[in-house]
Amino acid sequence: MSLIELKNISRAYTVGDREFYAIHDINMNLEEGELVVILGPSGAGKSTLLNILGGMDSPTEGEFFFDGRDIARFKDKDLTDYRAWNVGVVFQFYNLIPTLTAYENVALMKDVRANSGKRSVWNKGDVEVMAPENAIAAVGLSERMDHFPSQLSGGEQQRISIARAIAKNPRLLLCDEPTGALDTNTGREVLKLLQDISHKEGRTVVMVTHNSSCAEIADRVIRVKNATVVSDERIESPKDALEVNW
């Protein structure tokens, strides 16, 4: 069984009196441990798809199975629970809480898990929240732990936001244009981190980008255009992130 199965997923918006699809009739399966890049031009529906995968938005049609449960039918509370246990998110603009230090931003994940409760259906007793120090060490920023986001560079902020995402030990790591605001070198380092998380730790990583060079590091590249999937190819020997050029 795949970790994620999307069946005829659509997301419609009504603007004014008109209804249109941000994504339409999408079918795909994602496997445990895969590094998937979703590629497409602006407005194609990439972020919409990612939001649905992350339980941040609900599809208007279709079924979305995660580990056998239909997330598409979840309501607010269950979605929160789903996010708390399974999903780590990395945003294009980092979205760190400006009033918390790097350490505290990561430590916040403990609150998230505690708040979600031990009785969650996702709690199999085998996932612990990482100690914030370890998560930050994993992204190589132990020195900067007590800095506030405004005292960190963009790349550093993005690494902290990755540390925050992996601290939960999520089964699914979602990244929306994680390198979008970064220069080439810093971007490479961030990509490397994501690749390691997928390859060394065996987590499913889904990365959205419109930059095809980033796609070279993926195990699998899914192209979307005009709200639908246009191609889905497996890459046998992905490039190492540090060799990517753009």
Partner 1 sequence: MLIRNMFRNLFKNKVQFISIFIMSFLGLFVFVGMDSEVAGFTEAEEAFYNEYGLADIWVRGMKFMPDDIDKVKGLEGVKDAERRASVKGKFLLPDREADMYLTFIESNEISRIGIVEGETYSSGKSGIWIDYVFANKNSLKCGDRVKLKYEGKTFDETVRGTIRHPEYVYFLRDSASMMPDYGFYGMAFLDASEFPLENGTEFNELIIDAEGIDNYVPVNDDEKAVRKSLEAKIREVLENDTLAVLDKDDQLSYQTFRAEMDQHRGMSFMFPVVFMLISVLGIITTMTRLTKRQRIQIGTLKALGLSKSVITMHYVSYGFFLSLAGSVLGALAGYKYIVDLVLTMMADTYLIPNPRGKLTSSGVFVIAASVAVATLVSFLSCRHQLKFPPAETLRPEAPKHMKTSRFEKSALWKGLGFATQWNLRDVRRNKARTGMGIIGVAGSTMLMISAFGCLDSIEFITDWMYGQLNTAGYQIVMKDNTPYEEVYEYAVKYKGQMVENISAVFEAGEIDKNGTVTVIERGSLLHFQDDDFRSEGLTENGIAMSAKMARSLNIWEGDFVRWHLTGDDKWQKDRVVQIYANPGTQGITMFRKVYEQHEYKFMPQMVLTNMESVKDLDDEAVLGVQDTKGLMRSMDEMKKMMYMMMAIFISAAVILGVVVLYNQGILSYVEKIREMATLKVLGFTTGKIRLILQLQNVWITIAGIILGIPLGKLLLYGIMADMPEQMDYRGIIFGPSYLYSAAGTFVLSTLVSAFLSRKVRSVDMVEALKGIE
Residues making contact with ligand ATP (CB under 6 A) = 13, 15, 22, 40, 42-48, 210
At its nearest, how many Å lie between partner 1 and the CB of residue 121? 14
Closer residue to ligand ATP (CB): 7 or 210: 210
Q: Is 224 helix (H, G, I), strand (E, B) or coil?
A: strand
77 binds, among Mg ion, ligand ATP, partner 1, none (CB under 5 to 8 A by kind): partner 1
At its nearest, how many Å lie between partner 1 and the CB of residue 231? 25
CA–CA dist 53, 50 (Å, integer): 5
Closer residue to Mg ion (CB): 132 or 178: 178
At its nearest, how many Å lie between Mg ion and the CB of residue 180? 9
Give the footprint of partner 1 on this chain (CB under 8 A).
Answer: 48, 51, 54, 56-58, 76-77, 79-81, 83-85, 87, 89, 91, 93, 95, 97-100, 104-105, 107-113, 115-116, 164, 168
Q: Which two tokens stand for residue 146?
A: 């007590």
DSSP state of 40: -
Q: Check if the beta carbon of residue 29 is closer than 8 Å to that of residue 5.
A: yes
159 binds, among partner 1, Mg ion, ligand ATP, none (CB under 5 to 8 A by kind): none
At its nearest, how many Å lie between ligand ATP and the CB of residue 211? 10
Closer residue to partner 1 (CB): 174 or 193: 174
CA–CA dist 138, 132 (Å, integer): 10
Q: What is the rounded (10 degree) CA torsion for 190, 192, 198, 200? A: -130
Q: Is 142 helix (H, G, I), strand (E, B) or coil?
A: helix
DSSP state of 126: -
Q: What is the rounded (10 degree) CA torsion for 110, 53, 81, 137? A: -10
210 binds, among ligand ATP, Mg ion, partner 1, none (CB under 5 to 8 A by kind): ligand ATP
Closer residue to ligand ATP (CB): 205 or 208: 208
At its nearest, how many Å lie between Mg ion and the CB of residue 176? 6
Closer residue to partner 1 (CB): 80 or 228: 80
Q: Which two tokens stand for residue 117?
A: 């409760």
CA–CA dist 51, 175 (Å, integer): 10
HSE of 137, CA atoms in CB hemisphere, 13 A: 5
At its nearest, how many Å lie between partner 1 and the CB of residue 148? 9
